[in-house]
Structure 1
Amino acid sequence: MSATATWSEFLRDPNRVIETMEENGDVILVRRAAPPVRLSDAAESAATEETLGALTQLLAIALDDELLERLVGRLTITFPWIELLPESQRPEFVADFLNHARGGLAVGRLAGLTATLAAWRETAAAHADPRIRVDGTDLTYLDKPVVVRDPRGGE
């Protein structure tokens, strides 16, 4: 469980916020014009990362073809959007996810895993779009990059 405090509270009374962290596991520091910051015990976070790494490694080495098929079939419980991927791409998603999880946990950075998960979810959404052909025959591949205008109004 986590508690919440403002950045100002932390600056005014850091000891009280640290005590809250020790009681609750971590504290989310809310800042006015910036994303929140998590304050947590480094040893506990390291232990969690180590455990996640071990679980990921164990899962990766345990995946034979039969288990992979069962896992792919059950992933729709956690990731319902997987149903939108072609069946042939579902094992590829699992392998890609596990590779990024193993690598990210090995170096303590999971941003690549987060990006991979988002990319696969967007791929599933593209497959669900009736304006897009699943076989990709409506796609045009570019030989060279093309500069396009920023849709947000920038340059």
Structure 2
Amino acid sequence: MSTTKVPFSQLIQQPGKTVAKLDEAQQLRLVRRDGEDLVLETADRAEAAAAAMSVTTRLFVSLVKQDEGARALLMVLPEAFPWVKFLPTEDVRAFLVELVETANACAELDTLAPLETVVEAWRSTARIHADPELRARLTEPLDGTDYGPVSVL
């Protein structure tokens, strides 16, 4: 995908010229000094991306529901997420199911934020399995001390 970076102020000062750059690039990344960058793209492109996400997740859901498809996905999962190598086999399956179910729900809601949360949570789990010292500290029995209620931040 072709993305062109432009200062946000350029969009404000020269909207026609800036938007015309969408003919050359598929997206404009509007770089802001006082906040997160924004992305500008045509509605057709955004709708096509959402439709592609929806179709892709439906295919994955169908594959996971079939034994052969699930086995195939389990075999290629380490290419996309190399860290799954450190997860126990049952956790790799659980990650795949949660990933596909969440992707399917994300497509329905037109947001990808929950998908990132799922991947990061499982990556953290793999990190624990990969580090024997950390795993030992996190799985050792507690001494039974009650430190009281946890305050809400």
Give TM-score scaled by structure 1 length: 0.85
Report the counterpart of residue 147 of structure 1 in structure 2: 151
Letter in 2 for 1:6: P
Q: 2:91, 2:21 → 1: CA distance?
A: 46
Q: For residue 126 of structure 1, report the CA deviation from its aligned partner.
A: 1.2
Over the matched positions of the two proteins, sequence identity in percent amounts to 27
Query: Aligned to 2:98, which of 93, 96, 114?
Result: 96
- The one-character-per-residue Cα deviations of 1:34-92 (angstroms, maximum 9, x if unpaired) are 11100111221111111111111012112312321231122111110010111111111
Q: What's the secondary structure of 2:93's corresponding residue? A: helix
Q: What RMSD over aligned residues (CA atoms) do the two structures have, in Å? A: 2.4
How many residues were matched structurally? 148
Distance 2:111 2:149 in 1: 29
- Please give the alpha-carbon distance, in whole angstroms, between the structure 1 residues aligned to 2:107 and 2:88: 28
TM-score, normalising length: structure 2: 0.86
Summarize deviations over 1:11-48 as a string: whole Å, max 9, x none.
11011110102321110000012111001112211111
For 1:43-54, what aligned pairs fall within 5 Å after superposition?
Answer: 43-54=44-55
Which structure features the higher share of helix residues? Answer: 2
Whether 1:67 aligns to 2:69 is yes
- Which runs of 5 or more structure 2 residues have no equivalent in the other structure? none
Q: How far, CA to CA, are the matches of 1:30 and 1:85 in structure 2?
A: 38
Q: Which runs of 4+ in 1 moved over 2 A?
A: 139-142, 144-148
Amino acid at match of 1:147: S
**SS of aligned partner of 1:131:** helix
**Partner of 2:6 in structure 1?**
5
SS at match of 2:133: coil
Residues 117-136 of structure 1 show CA distances to partners (whole Å, capped at 9, x for unaligned) of 111111111111222347x7
Amino acid at match of 1:83: K
In the alignment, structure 1 segments of 5+ residues that lack a partner are 149-154
